[in-house]
Structure 1
Amino acid sequence: MTARTSRIDWVRLAPWLWTAGLFALWEGAVWALDVPHYILPAPTRIAVAFSEFGPGLWRNSVQTLWTTLAGFALAIGFGLLLGLAIGWSRTIYAGLYPLMIGFNSIPKVAVVPILVLWFGVGDVPAILTAFLISFFPIVVNVATGLATIEPEMEDVLRALGAKKLDIMTKVGIPRSMPYFFGSLKVAITLAFIGSVLSETIAANSGLGHMMLVAQSNFEVPLVFACLVALAIQGIGMYAVMAWIEGRTTGWAHRSGFSR
């Protein structure tokens, strides 16, 4: 086994080792300090909650994943189109960017009651909240990618007879793709936050709703089990986005992180 192969193996093992170490430290601290389970349950108690409420956790996890992915899909479509529009024209950039910053500064917890008033309790508010909280990074990154075209390159391309559309399709859009796929890793985690936020306010299912019910019943281990389930989903979807990024824009990464 070469040194390089050994190093790669340790890199692959590192997340599992760190996670196991964290849970071991957590377990030991709870038992050593005699922390009541209704304050901070030990990982073993959380595992018992997983076993006891497994079907409910699975059902609500699937519901949260569905609303998150639906909102995320909307964010990809809308964010990509709006990012291209903003990067295309300085006039559109000057007109829309301040409005987007202002809207993104509004806490989404204040928007959820309005969505419930418009669409009622259910999936739609959760999907729209996931969309509203996750599209902004996509727009910003796509617009930034288009804005990185050097003025000198644009002058050369125009001198060769290229039009604005040619510059954008042949240079601007390919250049913005690493920014776009990189933003997906951020946006998917934000989409989970939006879904759970809406589920804790107005929903009949989902991990957010389950946590709210468990909290009202003082089932603290179940609350933490929901958080762990949510973390597992977030890590899984982040890994999927990172894999897609590596497969589509691996050429843009020059460091060892791309391999």
Structure 2
Amino acid sequence: MPYAIRRRIWAALLIVGFFAAWEILCIAMDVSDLVVPRPSQVFATLFDRFPVLVPHIIHTLWTTMIGFVLGVIVGVVIGAAIGTSRTAYDTAYPLLIGFSSIPKVAVVPIFVLWFGAGPVPAVLTALAMCFFPIVVNIATGLATTEPELEDVLKSLGASKMDLLLNVGLPRTMPFFFASLKIAATFAFVGTVLAETVASNKGIGNVMMSASSNFDVPLVFAGLFILAFLGVALYVLFSLIEGRFVGWANRRDDFAST
């Protein structure tokens, strides 16, 4: 059996074993579902309430994706400016680091004050959460471009825009896709954070309402849904990465010995 298939089988077995150990420990230690529900209780809650949860899942997903797409656009533009201009780097980078250091839970009330409760604060919080990793990776990719490549094109009369389009941006693609996988998970964090504060719809709102009603299995069901959506986006971007920048992956398997 090929190593890649064996690796995936072992990974699946370990995941199943994790949930089985969780179930057994909860039963053996007689843990109340008000503290930590068993996985079987969480999956039963998901099955029973899934029709009710679907609108909230859709709302969280499209809100996250809008914020994520806007974050990608903003991150690429700022990252390209920082990576190609020393003045932009000296000016924008300290501001970006300062903004990234601000806990986003402190920013949500400002968004609510400006735009009111609803999807807009969630979109903006998702954007604020996910654009910084993209900026850093794009700027790093441009800053580490081999000067020999630029010198060759400059000798052929290439402009700065030609260098950016033909050398800089292709060179940043591995960095870009790596940042996309990180930013996608951050975007979900931002959306759910805003939904718990300023929304009457979405998985974050469902979890907040469930916690106030001590419905802990539903809270964990919301966590499972968010985890699944995050993993799904991660896998999607990994597949796209393999299709477009597979040349950057030197080896598929880690130490197989």
Calculate the TM-score normalised by the size of structure 1: 0.94
Whether 1:103 aligns to 2:99 is yes
SS at 1:256 equivalent: coil
Match of 1:88 among 84, 98, 104: 84
Matches of 2:131 and 2:192, distance apart in 1: 16
- Confirm or deny: 8 A CA contact 2:4 2:253 kept in the other structure: no
Aligned to 2:23: 27
Aligned to 1:79: 75
Match of 2:178 among 182, 206, 216: 182
Matches of 1:222 and 1:153, distance apart in 2: 55
1:156 shift after superposition: 4.2
1:1-259 → structure 2 map (5 Å cutoff): 3=1, 5=2, 7-257=3-253
- 1:115-162 Cα deviation digits (max 9, x unpaired): 001111111100110000000001111111100123344344434433
SS at 1:121 equivalent: coil
- 1:4-53 Cα deviation digits (max 9, x unpaired): x2x22122223321221110000000000111111111111112211222
What RMSD over aligned residues (CA atoms) do the two structures have, in Å? Answer: 1.5
- Confirm or deny: 8 A CA contact 2:64 2:123 kept in the other structure: yes
Gaps of 5+ in 2: none
Gaps of 5+ in 1: none
Q: Which moved more, 1:241-250 or 1:108-117?
A: 241-250
SS at 1:79 equivalent: helix
Calculate the TM-score normalised by the size of structure 2: 0.94
1:257 shift after superposition: 4.8
Amino-acid identity (%) = 52
Aligned residues: 254
Structure 1 stretches of 4+ with a deviation exceeding 4 A read none
Matches of 1:155 and 1:193, distance apart in 2: 43
1:85 shift after superposition: 1.1
Matches of 1:79 and 1:176, distance apart in 2: 13
Matches of 2:242 and 2:248, distance apart in 1: 9
SS at 2:245 equivalent: helix
Matches of 2:102 and 2:10, distance apart in 1: 38
- Confirm or deny: 8 A CA contact 2:149 2:167 kept in the other structure: no
- 1:212-253 Cα deviation digits (max 9, x unpaired): 000011101111111111111111111111111111111111
Matches of 1:93 and 1:242, distance apart in 2: 29
1:62 shift after superposition: 1.2
- Confirm or deny: 8 A CA contact 2:150 2:167 kept in the other structure: no
What code does the residue aligned with 2:66 have? A
- 1:62-103 Cα deviation digits (max 9, x unpaired): 111111111001011111111111112111111101100000
The change in CA–CA distance for 1:106 and 1:206 in structure 2 (over 3 A counts) is: same
1:163 shift after superposition: 2.8
SS at 1:53 equivalent: helix
